[in-house]
Structure 1
Amino acid sequence: MTGEPARTRSGESAPSRDAELELLRGALATELPVLGLGLGAQLLAEAAGGGAPEGPERLGRGPLRTAPVSGSDPLFAGMAVEDHHSGHAFRIGASAWGLHFPLEERWRDVLPARFAELVACRSEHSATRAFFTRRADAWEERFAHQTPACEAAVARMGLRRGQTAVDLGCGTGRAMPALRPHVGDEGTVLGIDVTHAMLTAAARTGRTAAGRLLLADCARLPLRPASVHGVFAAGLLDHLPRPRTALLEWARVSAPDGALLLFHPAGRAERAARRGRPLSPEDPLAEPNLRPLLDATGWRLTTYDDAERHFLARAVLAR
């Protein structure tokens, strides 16, 4: 995104400016990757709530300095800027960057290539976040009727007081209050999701009273090895592009007596019928597929219950 002068000045008549700002605000809200260059950076800053004062120095000018944190930034790491440069380089959240100065020749190809690689690596998360961000505010009310089924599933995990339980892909954290009494006040409950808007909705619903909320990728968990005793994953595994990778990661963080519960408040046949499709033999939750997948990733299937009104598979760490 590079922008045009007539579209960056507040108060000017630019028919597409408001639409561009709205588009950028939507991208920021859903954490889609954005790179703003030159006047595009100025427009990005304004979309994020920053000021854009009038005049040629709208974003301010001055010597460009690199902060220590830039050394670990996925886009800016390693960039060296000459003393004669002035302007701004900034990041908004974890997915938007702006550069309000001319790039040195050696970075003109490198920086766009880095950004393209970053977009490719995050494409799966970007699609997930875009889908769920739009639905986060209504999610809890829409699926509140599933709470009793969720509580019944949690009861089958076999958790004990003082243990650590994780609700993976927690959404609005519906399973968290159900997990808390099983691990007791001395235990730990974590709700983990990759969509910030879902965690915001979970906090607004009061789920932080039951445990902590973490923004993280379920296939790259910020947890120590063997630190989790129970993993609850509702409607998650069959939507992941690499379920084997996720199961290996869940095994890594699970204690020797760790349990995994895969759950959905509707059976496989009911969900297929709802979509007007037959049951697929490729479904990773079909027992002939799920059992060997669990075996290959360190889990042993102990319960498989694909009923009309729910799907439940319980496994324990096989080590």
Structure 2
Amino acid sequence: MSWAEPTGVLVVQHLPHEGPYAIGTALEAAGLPVRVCRTWAGDPVPESPDGLAALVVMGGPMAAYDDSPAFPTRAAELALLRVALEAVVPVLGVCLGAQLLAVAAGGVARPGDGQQTGWGTVRTTSAAPADPLFAPLPEHLRVLHWHGDTMDLPAGAALLASCDRYPVQAFRIGGAGWGLQFHLEVDEEAIDAFATAFPDEAATVPDLRESTPAELTASAPHRDGVFERFAALVASRAARTTTRAFFTSLAATWEEHFAADGPRYAAAVSRRELLPGQRVMDMGCGSGLALPALRDEVGPRGVVLGVDLTPAMLTAAAREGRAGVAHLLLGYACRLPLPTGSLGGVFSAGLIDHVPDSAAALREWARATAPGGVLLLFHRSGRAERAARHGRPLAPDDLLAEQNLRPTPHATGWDLLCYEDAAHHFLARAVRTG
């Protein structure tokens, strides 16, 4: 089993003129491929964000609160946004996309008291200076409004920008979802397209085209900065994002697929030679199959940590009662939320050869482990068995091949003492040097 390769950023586009404009420019400048889902042309909305580095949902005249024939993809878009939020996939919603994002997170979209069209000023809030995208923005920002609906944010959302008529102008959901009610992405081409597509709304702003060049000159640096920061965030998280998205879709059924492997995990844990009272970590714990065995090894005075990158997997572990035997922590293999030398050992099953920088991960695990601590790398299948299952030959550059693995622990603070690539399991045991 392997997760999807990154395929770039998906832009959901409801009308031809509602393009990403400056958003797309920033994403492509960051080396992120952009794929457009043209719902107006009948493109299907994906069921999951597997393989995506980010999701962008653009605007349109439809209503985020109405399953009308004019908006046949509303339910599918909300479902995709919910899974993306659960998987912590970076999301950017613009106008209608922002309203859909709010609804997907538990908020409410509703009709406003009339159309808000044209250039206007929004105020950044006290939450903006701590936001990854909004931090450098001025207190007052000129933006293009082109909407008539509004929204109420869900509990926990951070309001980032506001105005008197429609208070919700920009917001953040969690650590990776942003909504912009206004059109910060526009350039002169976009203004012309909007005015042509919606002449009645444009007629309410007689000097729209004349005022646009000066407005864009003033707002473009802030516009470009927001989207450049979003693109940089997406690029820096891409590998983690695709991993989380893949495992989020599997978390609900993970236990039923692998529960029978519990004895295999217990047998592997017993090879660690742990001592009662030690502090141990299962890195990439998933639904926590190894956690009960680790608890048995270290006893009631010991500490067991189950660490995983995917929130849905930790939810699955808690559902299986593993929170009663271990502390469940959200964490990344290459940057652990643990003090130096605080662990007596590390257990990790089926993870190390899928981490983008395996040497960095091993080095980080060594940092968090005291000298003499034990590392056990485990897989429920041997290398040959896994290769056959995926219909491919054994690869000479496979990290877990002995000639490749043996020098890696030594260079990252570990001494490899045992290597077993058996028919039905893989196991490597190393000790923290120093």
CA distance in 2, matches of 1:57, 1:34: 28
Alignment partner, residue 61 of structure 2: 5
Residue in structure 2 matching 1:260, options 375, 380, 405:
375
How far does residue 119 in structure 1 lie from its aligned partner after superposition?
Answer: 1.2
Larger Cα-atom Rg: 2
- Which position in structure 2 is the counterpart of 1:179? 294
CA shift, 1:65, in A, is: 4.7
How far is 1:11 from its partner?
5.5
TM-score (norm 2): 0.69
| Greater CA drift, 27-36 or 146-155 | 27-36
Q: Which residue of 1 aligns with 2:54?
A: none
Matching residue within 69, 74, 79 for 1:17? 74
Aligned counterparts of 1:224 and 1:170: Cα–Cα separation in 2: 19
Question: What is the match of residue 180 of structure 2?
Answer: 99
CA contact (8 A) 1:10 1:52 kept: no
Counterpart for residue 127 of structure 1: 242
Contact 1:7 1:16 in 2 (8 A): no
Normalised by the length of structure 1, the TM-score is 0.92
Q: Secondary structure at the match of 1:79?
A: coil
When you count strand as a share of all residues, which structure comes out higher?
2
User: 2:136 matched to which residue of 1?
Assistant: 78
Structure 1 residue 229, shift from structure 2 partner: 0.8
Q: Which residue of 1 aligns with 2:105?
A: 48
Q: C-alpha displacement at 1:162, in angstroms?
A: 1.6
Q: Distance in 1 between matches of 2:298 and 2:123?
A: 51
What is the Cα deviation at residue 66 of structure 1? 2.2
Write out per-residue CA displacement over residues 202-227 of structure 1, whole angstroms, 9 at most, x where no aligned residue: 11010001111111111110100000
Range that drifts further, 9-18 or 92-101: 9-18
Percent sequence identity is 54
Which position in structure 2 is the counterpart of 1:37?
94
Out of 273, 281, 303, the residue aligned to residue 166 of structure 1 is 281
Contact 1:171 1:198 in 2 (8 A): yes
Among 425, 428, 431, the alignment partner of 1:310 is 425
Whether contact under 8 Å (2:124, 2:138) holds in the other structure is no
CA distance in 2, matches of 1:134, 1:9: 26
Amino acid at match of 1:303: C
Q: Which runs of 4+ in 1 moved over 3 A?
A: 9-13, 62-65, 101-105
Task: Map Cα deviations across residues 5-53 of structure 1 (whole Å, 9 max, x no partner).
Answer: 3233436442232232222223223221111123321221112120112
Instruction: State how far apart, in whole Å, the 2-side matches of 1:130 and 1:102 are.
Output: 28
CA contact (8 A) 2:124 2:140 kept: no
Maintained 8 Å contact 1:166/1:189: yes
- Tell me which residue corresponds to 1:237: 352
> 1:286 and 1:56 mapped to 2: Cα distance?
66
Kept in 1: contact 2:122–2:140 (CA 8 A): no
Moved more, 229-238 or 113-122: 113-122
2:222 partner letter: W
Q: Spell out the pairing of 1:258-297 with structure 2 (5 A cutoff).
A: 258-297=373-412
Match of 1:211 among 301, 326, 333: 326
